[in-house]
Amino acid sequence: MTANGVFAVDPWELRETRLDLDGLARSESLFALSNGHIGLRGNLDEGEPHGLPGTYLNGVYERRPLPYAEAGYGYPESGQSVINVTNGKILRLLVDDEPFDIRYGTLHFHERVLDFRAGTLRRTVEWTSPAGQRVRIVTQRLVSFTQRAVVGICLEVEPLGGEVRIVVQSELVANEDLPAPVADPRAAAALRNPLVAEWSEADGLRGTLVHRTRHSGLRVAAAMDHVVDAPAEVATSAEASDDWARADVTTVLRPGERLRLVKFVSYGWSQQRSLPAVRDQVAAALTAARHTGWDELLVEQRRYLEDFWDRADVQLDGDAELQQAVRFALFHVLQAGARAEGRPIPAKGLTGPGYDGHCFWDTETFVLPVLTHTLPRAAADVLRWRHATLPLARDRAGQLRLRGAAFPWRTINGEECSGYWPAGTAAFHVNADIADAVLRYLDATGDREFEREVGLELLVETARLWRSIGHHDLDGHFRIDGVTGPDEYSALADNNVYTNLMAQRNLLGAADAAARDPARAGELGVDAEETAAWRHAAVAMMIPYDEALGVHPQAEGFTRHQGWDFAHTRPEEYPLLLHFPYFDLYRKQVVKQADLVLALQLCGDFADPDQKRRDFEYYERITVRDSSLSACTQAVVAAEVGHLGLAYDYAAEAALLDLRDLTGNTRDGLHIASLAGTWISLVLGLGGMRDHGTLSFCPRLPEGIDRLAFRIVRGDARLRVEVLRTGATYELVAGSTPLTLRHHDEEVKLDVGASRTLPLRPTPRLPRPAQPPGRAPARRSGLPGR
């Protein structure tokens, strides 16, 4: 069992062994189903009780005002919030006129299982009504990976006592009442009744609702249809109104008989298409789903996931809970991006309304590395979405009196939604993060068509931004002043090392890409003078260094700031942003999340191993991890510099963040970047993988993990890596050409079907570095059973 005693430890599923009504909102996030286009929170089928109802469509949002006490030039005028669209999950059940409600009667058995291989949420209940009728109810739910507009739900009911009359009420409900938001600025703003009815219809067992959002003007359609299998006569009816459609099925069951009802739901939305077009779109999706049938939908779902796990699985021996957590993480990362197709991957995926459903830099820096090496098509789709928002990014740059493109800090449709500019607009590194994702995708896939159509323009416009923001000083250094790096506890800093190194990579990458395709570069107005200016700026990039301390300051002057008073900071005062003014945070040495350490991971060539260790240990003492983005990065660099036990602890923290609700806000949705960070911690951390044109590995295993195995997709090649204490084995299981990689400093060339086993290098034993008081990660190694 996991620490909270609710979830059983199983390598391929998340099994809830008892129902915790106080933790419903959290479990609804954990049991969410999605395909990147549709997202369903894991609400109970009967609709009540619930923690937070949620049905989401990627890209469907409502506008809301962003009020300011004092207006300022360039402040965004409106925000965007993801909305709870029409709920098609509801299947109410009446047993001899008694509504099935787990709060009444007697609940004998309740189990829910999220199956990572089947892609389904299965629920089994045995319940006795207040009138004494005992029934078994089994439901299974999926959001299809193969038919992206389709949701399927199968309900089976059987009596466990005498004859019973069963009524099933299947509903579509729009504008559901939502609970008031908690007092936390990270929680989403609740929007009441955002949908305006345009059309409704009920016919047979089919129902359709079409709505339009009040302010953003998006048209949303939802439709349902049913297939009923019962041993006796069935009575049916249906009706619809503006915000509600219902189909009723009534029958009588005797002992040993079973009612089976399959519900298909389809969704569609558009900003431009007409009502008839959107209505017909969901009708067609329903027709296709009925033609496929429930059983074949299950088969398609399993086949899709078999292929995914064949490319993406990570195996661990020695820590069963972490094994479960990494597959849970990969499953949800897949769900967040598999069928996003021209839409963003929000920070919470489609599992909840946290962060208003916005997409941040998290996507490119944490999620896309996983997808690039497991499902590269999905990574390309997200970057195509960024490319589609280039006109808005150019407009924003122009508004800020800059050249190139300034991509938003947080957004749904491509417009900036951050009303706090020091941590939003000034965090220009998001532009280099996008460029970095482009470069890593190109290195991993060699997709020159993508480079010509999408990649080159993204690289060019972001490179232009850096030449516009930065300047050459009197000493010839290229400076980028007054920006905010990943650490949001330090704003408006000069020469943030992470930002400068990532901008350097952006500038050189853009120049190289333009040289590869001069014709396309010319179409974008790039000439030799501009690329020379990019290269000049990159070579002259200012990288501050503190000679006295022998470390890189996070930004110029950072190591001269006053230290934070950790000794007098109480445990309940974390996260600091909720208890201290930003002014105090900005002028002290306290780090919210990995910043300089993230530079060591992503741009590690700028420092030698001894320098990396000094930098890492310095920032360990002042990093409080008030962000879920930090642990995985600290895991990677801890492993690289030799702190394997600490790396293991951080990897487990990233993996268990939501399963154990370590930040206390899983109720608002899962932390998709931290889940992606589980893969990063293990593959880049313990596996030591780096991909800068050539794949390289420096694998190592901490005490408590006896074996690590993972797979990497690179072009049409599939590489399997297995790390034991006796050595690492590399096997090229598929591909059209040999693959060259590096194991430590040794070059390894693999033919298709061939494998090589090489010894691991010993890892030095180093004293464990200190963290701020009370902020050390939970110890993983040395636990019972490890």
Tens-place pLDDT, residues 502-551: 999 999 999 999 999 999 999 999 999 999 999 999 999 999 999 999 99
Whole-number pLDDT of residue 186? 38
Q: Model confidence at 610, in pLDDT bands (50, 70, 90)?
A: very high
The backbone torsions φ and ψ at residue 686, rounded to the nearest 5 degrees and listed phi first, read -70, -35
- By annotation, the residues acting in catalysis are 488
State residue 187's pLDDT score.
37
pLDDT at 185 over 50: no
What would the mean pLDDT of 695-705 be, rounded to a whole number? 95
- pLDDT value at residue 786: 39
How confident is the model over 76-101, as a mean pLDDT? 95
**CA pair distance 249, 438, nearest whole angstrom:** 52
- The rounded distance, in Å, linking the Cα atoms of 559 and 588 is 9
Q: Are strands 61-65 and 55-57 parallel, antiparallel or unpaired?
A: unpaired
Helix (H, G, I), strand (E, B) or coil at 361: coil
The mean pLDDT value for 448-453 works out to 97
Cα 50 to Cα 41, 172, 188: the distances in Å are 10, 16, 17
Least confident of 2-6, 90-94, 265-269, 597-601: 2-6
Residue 785: predicted pLDDT: 37
The whole-number average pLDDT for the span 230-259 is 96
Residue 694 pLDDT class (50, 70, 90 cuts):
confident
Averaged pLDDT for residues 139-163: 97
- Span 705-734, average pLDDT: 96
Residue 783, pLDDT score: 52
pLDDT tens per residue across span 647-684: 999 999 999 999 999 999 999 999 999 999 999 999 99
**What pLDDT, in 10s, does the model give residues 543-589?**
999 999 999 999 999 999 999 999 999 999 999 999 999 999 999 99
pLDDT at 184: 40
Share of the chain above pLDDT 90, in %: 92
State both tokens at 115. Answer: 């199956």
Q: What percent of the chain has pLDDT over 70?
A: 97
**What is the reported pLDDT for 50?**
95
| 483-501: pLDDT as tens digits | 999 999 999 999 999 999 9
Cβ-based burial of 287 (10 A; exposed 0-12, middle 13-18, buried ≥19):
middle
466 has a pLDDT exceeding 50:
yes
Specify the pLDDT at position 671: 98
- Distance between CA atoms of residues 104 and 49, nearest Å: 11
Contacts of 719 (CB under 8 A, 6+ apart): 695, 711, 712, 730, 731, 732, 733, 739, 741, 750
pLDDT at 703: 93
Q: What pTM value is reported for the model?
A: 0.96
54-83 pLDDT per residue, tens? 999 999 999 988 888 788 898 888 899 999
pLDDT value for 784: 41
Name residue 112's amino acid: R
Residue type, 248: D
282 vs 419: which has the higher pLDDT: 282
Mind giving me the DSSP string for 547-594?
A: TTTTB--SSTTGGGSEEP-GGG--GGG-SGGGTS-HHHHHTEE-BSS-
Identify the pLDDT of residue 765.
84
The whole-chain average pLDDT of the chain stands at: 95
